[in-house]
Amino acid sequence: MKKIHSQDDFQSRIKRIIISEEEIKAAIANAGKEIDAIYDGRPILLVSILKGAFVFMADLCRAITAPCEIGFMCAKSYYEGTVSTGIVKITMDLEQDISNYHVIIVEDIIDTGRTLNDVIKLLKARNPISLRVVTLLDKPSRRLVDLNADLSLFTIPDHFVIGYGLDCAEYFRNLPYIAEYTE
């Protein structure tokens, strides 16, 4: 990606909005209700995968009325430009012992599935009471690992997207909507 030098430059990389703020809000309100129905008041631990899922986590946790704790893990998927290299590193681990928890992994996007696959393996080995995955976005056409979320808010085509926590070279996480990226 070419370095961003100005506001005009920043704006010119935003090709078009594919999911609006209002659509995200409505989908999260529904997801909160579905999660409440599944757990029926049992306490939950929401585990957000940083950095991309931080905005989704902030909104999703406020759409859930069940008692919940939050935790963070940092998994870095290495990209060359907008293409995944397949290298995933867990750079920050959870502080909680999850063996007494109903855990929900909160992800921004499932692309090849490799990041989530690694995180699931790691967390399963720690014997949570239950483990589910909720993702804001899903790009099933790109999957390299046989894996699906329990709850997926939007299925999108194979475009590199930015905004609402998702970045390109660390920029664009602050956009309140999901947009297609262009150089």
**Residues involved in catalysis:** 111
- 165 exposure class (CB count in 10 Å sphere: 0-12, 13-18, 19+): buried
In the complex, least distance from residue 26 CB atom to ligand IMP, rounded to whole angstroms? 22
Using CB under 5 A as the binding rule, whether residue 32 contacts Mg ion is answered as: no
Q: Is 59 in the site for ligand IMP (CB under 6 A)?
A: no
Q: Is residue 165 a contact point for Mg ion (CB under 5 A)? A: no
Please give the helix or strand (H or E) that residue 120 lies within, else none: helix 114-124
Contact positions with Mg ion (CB under 5 A) in 48-107: 52
Q: Which of 19, 28, 44, 52 binds ligand IMP (CB under 6 A)?
A: 52
To Mg ion, the closest distance from the beta carbon of 160 in angstroms equals 10
Question: Which residues are CB-neighbours of 34 under 8 A, at least 6 positions away?
Answer: 151
d(CA 40, CA 136): 22
Burial class (CB in 10 A: 0-12, 13-18, 19+), 167: middle
Considering the rule CB under 6 A, would residue 113 count as an interface residue with ligand IMP? yes
Residues contributing to the site for Mg ion (CB under 5 A): 52
Residues contributing to the site for ligand IMP (CB under 6 A): 52, 77, 84, 107-116, 160-161, 166
